[in-house]
Structure 1
Amino acid sequence: MGSVSESTRPRRPRRPRRLRIAVALAVLLAVIAYVVVQYVTGGKGAPRCVVGSGNNTYWFTPEQASNAATISAVGTSRGMPERAVTIALATALQESALRNIRYGDRDSLGLFQQRPSQGWGTEAQILDPVFSSGKFYDHLAKVPGYSRLPLTVAAQRVQRSGFPQAYAKHEPDAALLAAALTGRSPASLTCTPGSGQVKAGDPAKVRAELKRAFGELPRGGAAPEISVPVRATAAGSAGSAGPEGATPGGGSRRGWELAQWAVAQADALGLAEVSYAGRVWSVAEAEDGWRSAPAGTSRPDEVRIRVTR
């Protein structure tokens, strides 16, 4: 029997090259999406934080929460309005994803990718979230009418970025964060410690960080429970205890600002419990978020913070 020539042998149909490329690209995008989700949420069993409720939520890591809380606290302690905090948070979301990174374009560093060579400070200063946040607000305050400008315009006047429109996509998440961290949206930020061991905290360090971020000097010495007085401020400011500073369900914006700052810092500072205005958040029951506090254990004139021992 004669052999079948190579030219007449039936061949498998080959996929078009474009289809193969499309399939490979789809797989690559799926992998990237999975990695991003795992990074942002920390993966199953990892510590995580969330702000907002329902479909209007933003999930982020404790590291991001800590940095966001610092950015907000520095702004309000300078008397900056919530809009300024939103602009700062959106800028940091774009520049560093709210991470205090030690690298960037040329000599850019930190939360806002500020450059030592451009007069933003030394490397060590820029890598201090309190310092870098303060420098951002210093420059923002010099922008005429910044609170009435589109967020991208206000941020660009400070940053001089090569991609000025990139800030716009972060405005919804930044607004959610600002509403919680300035106290306007009470009991809206919560964190869970994950399945790992919760580290012990240092009461002295917690007091020092409160002082650095807010200028607040908590009562008490080395005791594990810290009491932060909720002082009255000028009506209409972010920390107002007057009619404009009252929040639904009790308490003031200033009180909720301090309380939610503490929850955002719980992982970094080793905090076990935060209570204010009849509500309590604790590591032990973190999945339940802010719960009703037992009668007599939480007051509207002070935020109580208990450190993990």
Structure 2
Amino acid sequence: MGRVSEPIRRPRPARRGRLARFTAAFAVLLGLVAYVAVHYVTGSKGAPRCSVGTGANRYEFTPEQASNAATIAAVGTTRGMPERAVTIALATALQESALRNIEHGDRDSLGLFQQRPSQGWGTPEQILDPVYSSGKFYEGLDKVPGYSRLPLTVAAQKVQRSGFPQAYAKHEPDATLLSAALTGRSPASLSCTADVTAGRPGDPARIRAELSRAFGAGTTARPAPVAPGAAGANAGAPPATYLTIPVQESRGAREQRGWELAQWAVARAEDLRVAEVVYGDRAWVADDASGDWEPAGSRSTDGASVRIRLAR
């Protein structure tokens, strides 16, 4: 008998389809990697980000987290709490919510500190207000005898009653960097980029309201003329809006208070649509890809006020 030739085996359509999809997905992935690499090497501005510290002793976070951290710090200093209290509060919020004002949690826990309405912390609406929830945390901390001398985990646990009290410890280094910057003890140490190029313009009334809520009724912002050395407006564009925040003595340290206000404005820049902050001889600009404070030159202030320019 003659040998029966075997049928030619052809790839199945389904297999060819899977191979094509895999090849396309791999090409997209390579393109994404190349895009990120080019932008990293060239220093192009990517997603908004913030950081404090340097080298291995560095904490990076988002503008949303920066805004919440700034509120926690401002509420603490306004209540006359020391920097150690701010560090404890920030470490607690880092553990409980990663500094995000979340609307969920274990059982009925909510907000930055995962406070529970059923346990007397307040209504859900109150707890989801960062100013209120921060105040309630400090209220509890202030009742802990000698909290500033206690290990951070012990002090935080006496307020929170967490099921995992040791978890707070790992956040102490980052919280220490944040509190030093946001209380003004570490000048020009908060680096941020913020996207304020599109969307609504900055609202002076909202700036005043948020300053008052965070720092008390005695802290406000006043209209200011165009800053010396400011870039000219584009033809047909609305003029820039400038505000000044007077810096009052706080425990005999005006400069530290000034930096507290200045770095609060930077931390909240994306939310409040702040395009520039100047204090003393340093300036921060939202669209600077580095996010760092730079010499202010002719825009410098006398140290008696913080000047901000709103997005338009």
Normalised by the length of structure 2, the TM-score is 0.77
Q: Deviations over 1:138-163 (max 9, x none)?
A: 00000000000000000000000000
CA distance in 1, matches of 2:291, 2:167: 35
What displacement does 1:286 show? 4.4
Q: Secondary structure at the match of 1:120?
A: coil
Counterpart position of 1:23: none
Cα distance change, pair 64–106 in 1 and its aligned pair in 2 (3 A): same
Give runs of aligned pairs for residues 1-309 of structure 1, distance below 5 A.
45-193=46-194, 197=198, 199-215=200-216, 216-220=219-223, 224-235=241-252, 240-241=253-254, 252-287=255-290, 289-295=292-298, 297-309=300-312
What displacement does 1:298 show? 2.0
Percent identity, please: 69
Cα distance change, pair 288–64 in 1 and its aligned pair in 2 (3 A): closer
CA distance in 2, matches of 1:288, 1:101: 27
What code does the residue aligned with 2:210 have? E
Unaligned runs of 5+ in 2: 1-44, 226-239
Counterpart position of 1:27: none
What displacement does 1:78 show? 0.6
Q: Secondary structure at the match of 1:275?
A: strand
Q: How many residues align?
A: 252
Cα distance change, pair 234–194 in 1 and its aligned pair in 2 (3 A): closer
CA distance in 1, matches of 2:117, 2:224: 38
What displacement does 1:288 show? 5.2
What code does the residue aligned with 1:167 have? Y
Normalised by the length of structure 1, the TM-score is 0.78
CA distance in 1, matches of 2:275, 2:199: 9
Tell which deviates more after alignment, 52-61 or 77-86: 52-61
CA distance in 2, matches of 1:220, 1:123: 36
What displacement does 1:193 show? 2.5
What displacement does 1:202 show? 1.1
What displacement does 1:178 show? 0.2
What displacement does 1:199 show? 4.9
Q: Secondary structure at the match of 1:227?
A: strand
Cα distance change, pair 204–221 in 1 and its aligned pair in 2 (3 A): farther
CA distance in 2, matches of 1:195, 1:138: 35
Unaligned runs of 5+ in 1: 1-43, 242-251
CA distance in 2, matches of 1:92, 1:234: 26
Q: Secondary structure at the match of 2:168?
A: helix
Contact 2:196–2:286 (CA under 8 A) maintained in structure 1: no
Contact 2:92–2:156 (CA under 8 A) maintained in structure 1: yes
What displacement does 1:296 show? 5.3
RMSD over equivalenced CA pairs, Å: 1.8
Larger radius of gyration: 2
